[in-house]
Amino acid sequence: MSVELPGTVYLIGAGPGNPNLLTKKAERLIKKADVILYDRLVNPLILQYASPETKVINVGKKPYFKHIQQEEINLKIVEAAKHYQYVVRLKGGDPAIFGRITEEVHTLAKHQINYEIVPGITSASAAVASMNMGLTMRSVAPSVTFSTGHFKDSIDHDTDIRNLINGGTLAIYMGIKRLGHILKQIETYTDEDYPIAIVFNASCFNQQIITGTLSTIEHELTLHHLDGRPGICILGHLISYFDNTSICKHEILSHKYYVIKGDKPLALAKAEELYEDGYQCLIDFDHHYHVSQQHLYNELLQYKEIEYVYV
């Protein structure tokens, strides 16, 4: 078979973490990929959909650390496209929402490399879905804004809160670290003690929802150990309609990990089922792990509660 190079780069959204929220198209392309360059927030289980021959490269940027710069990632993608036909650039959530996609697309266009964007489920959508709500609500929240709490070079810009003040819903990505600053900023514009929900690890086995108001949320957060976990802040009147008692299945805080052994398609199906029930799992393909999986598997062995499932 002749291989046409440079290859095509697929900029794919991996969703908020739960493999059941991966799109069919994303799954198909991951299975076909020659190389996958993935971000920090991509659930490693999703990488297990790839073939053992697929090269898997971690290009995760740790927030607030100079880990790997965007320019470096751009070059790695271009390099990959020169050597492989199916290049998957896998990002958490939707790649078009705070996913630095424009920079990557510009670089690919400059190098005349074909690319395609494959949308994913963004964490704000997953967060409200797990609260049995929407992001907008008739007569209550007519609009929604996706804002960021983190800015280039960690400069202290103000978060865009205009929509909240105008009666809409505000979803703040990357806002946990600067939450105090953002709350103060809102308080300078209004006396209203807006309700707020922060959803950590939306859609995953370790999801946690913390609710409060502008004046109480910081205290609420100190009561939990959530440092370092991805969390999305949802503010607005609509949050007062959140019925905490309606959460059951998605709030199973299980610390049990499953390792599934056996035939790959069956193992993946089992993993999806376990995720649906609120558990964390990995697949043991007769020790043919991707590098990323080996690392994760070793980490996992340190947990007490591991159950092996044979399919």
Asked if the bond preceding 6 is cis, omega within 30° of 0, the reply is yes
Q: Around Cβ 158, how many Cβ atoms within 10 Å?
A: 11
39 labelled catalytic? yes
Minimum distance from residue 40 beta carbon to ligand SAH (Å):
9
Q: Which helix (H) or strand (E) holds 282?
A: strand 280-284
SS3 of 85, please?
coil
Residue 42 or 260: the one with the smaller Cβ distance to ligand SAH is 42
Using CA atoms, how far residue 216 sits from 86, 189, 197, 221, in Å, is: 49, 18, 11, 9
**Exposed, middle or buried, 281 (CB in 10 Å: 0-12/13-18/19+)?**
buried
Residue 62 or 82: the one with the smaller Cβ distance to ligand SAH is 62
Minimum distance from residue 285 beta carbon to ligand SAH (Å):
25
Residue 7 or 231: the one with the smaller Cβ distance to ligand SAH is 231
131 labelled catalytic? no
Minimum distance from residue 286 beta carbon to ligand SAH (Å):
30
Minimum distance from residue 20 beta carbon to ligand SAH (Å):
13
Asked if 177 and 63 touch (Cβ cutoff 8 Å), the reply is: yes
Minimum distance from residue 243 beta carbon to ligand SAH (Å):
20
Tokens of 87: 């290049």
Q: Which helix (H) or strand (E) holds 258?
A: strand 257-261
Residue nearest to ligand SAH (CB): 93
Q: How many residues does the chain have?
A: 311
Residue 79 or 251: the one with the smaller Cβ distance to ligand SAH is 251
Tokens of 110: 């400059």
The residues with which 89 forms a beta bridge, in sequence order, are 11, 37
- The single residue of 32, 61, 256, 261 carrying the catalytic annotation is 61
- The single residue of 39, 91, 94, 131 carrying the catalytic annotation is 39
Residue 6 or 99: the one with the smaller Cβ distance to ligand SAH is 99
Residue 78 or 127: the one with the smaller Cβ distance to ligand SAH is 127
* H helical segments located in 57-178: 70-83, 101-110, 123-130, 162-165
Minimum distance from residue 224 beta carbon to ligand SAH (Å):
14
32 labelled catalytic? no
Look up residue 200 and give its DSSP letter: E
SS3 of 209, please?
strand
Tell me which residue of 144, 194, 150, 151 sits closest to 169, measured CA to CA.
144
From CA 34, how far away is CA 56, in angstroms rounded? 9
List contacts with ligand SAH (CB under 6 A).
16-17, 41, 91-94, 97-99, 122-123, 127, 173-174, 199-203, 230-232
Catalytic residues: 39, 61, 174
